[in-house]
Amino acid sequence: MFKRVVVTGMGAVTPLGNNVQAFWQNALAGKSGAAKITHFDASLFRTQFACEVKGFIPAELFDRADIKRTDLFTQYAFAATDEAIKDSGFDVEKMDPFDIGVIWGTGQGGMQTFEEQVTEYAKGDGHPRFNPFFVPKFLTNMASGMISIRNGFMGINYTPISACATSNTALMDAFTYIRIGKAKIIVSGGSEAPITPASIGGFSTMKAMSHRNDDPAHASRPFDVDRDGFIMGEGAGALILEEYEHAVKRGAKIYAEIVGAAMTADAYHMTATHPEGKGAAKAMSLALEEAGITINDVDYLNMHATSTPVGDLSEINALLSLTNGQTTHMQIGATKSMTGHLLGAAGAVEAILSIKAIENQVLPPTINTQNLDPAIPSGLHIVPNHAIDHEVNIAMSNTFGFGGHNGIVVFKKV
């Protein structure tokens, strides 16, 4: 008999705020996190703006030793998980530490550390002078390891990587392990710090990102006929997943229940999604089947919708294949219009917004969609550029990653 899995804590560091409350309020207000890049001089780059985290000062949050031995993506993870653990209120001292795990995702890991160290070497005299923390700082699994060290969690611990589907992969794995009794609590989510010269330059060269340098706040335009690519984002989202009976016994606040999750592969292209959305449609179908519901039961779908010309349409096609081309009461949202695309952390921060929608019965807006692409049926209910009240009992969150990875998670009101 599978165990039930619920969410009992959340934490966030995002371009819209450095805690869940600020993140949620700014999302409801329809604020854009996009602005000119300040992390480095991007004046010669094709894309010169991003959705950066604002006001994040590691020295005010962590001791010097932790800062010295961690990359920014791990520092974002620390801040988000600290908030989520406090929010959940579970007492580590009263639990077997082997019952608490960490499954934490990232797409790129310590990109900033890697670039800085290699650049320093290339500019030097050829002698190999590297920081002794170079390797552990950039390793993708280091955030999960450091979270466990920081808190004394000795259970399941690893990092899945599936590009921009990574956070949902982490949540799915945590969900599965708790369901089968391998853990009582798992800290899950993802973090990313990809606003670096190589990362911005690489995605720019692929022409995957918008180049509306004169108007960053309106650049992320999901479903809009004039969309021209995504905006890079950064930050972290943390969720405490817990076995239902354990949460009830300790009197925990339960935000929502995870009732289904699934992954598939497109087996189509390195970077492009399948134009018919075949893999995405199957992943959604499998997640709904596991939840024991149909697409008609979903009240809110937070789509992957990065604002790329091909990607948005393929996801719409996937959805239409499940509804047989018919409209439903379901509201469709695209919160990347505000946060930008947090790559491996996208699924986690979007899960938080989906859960907050369930908690508050309010949907955050989809901003900047001014002229709907004529290829998208007008009968679909796309959340407008302002928050709306809406009954939400079931919310689904989609993520897709380079390599053809599709990850879906379904949340339910408890």
State the catalytic residues: 164, 304, 341
Give the ranges where 193-308 is alpha helix by DSSP (H): 197-205, 244-249, 278-291
Angle formed at CA 275 by CA 271 and CA 280, multiple of 5 degrees: 80
Beta bridge partners of 36: 49
Question: Which tokens hold the place of 159?
Answer: 């990092």
The one-character DSSP state at 386 is: S
Q: How many Å apart are CA 201 and CA 215, to the nearest integer?
A: 19
Q: How many Å apart are CA 253 and CA 307, to the nearest integer?
A: 35
Contact 220, 368 (CB under 8 A): yes
Short-list 323, 305, 246, 291, CA closest to 413: 291
Q: How many Å apart are CA 142 and CA 290, to the nearest integer?
A: 32
Whose tokens are 């039930």? That residue is 4
Q: How many Å apart are CA 212 and CA 229, to the nearest integer?
A: 9
DSSP-derived secondary structure for 298-313: -SEEE----S-HHHHH
Short-list 262, 254, 266, CA closest to 396: 262
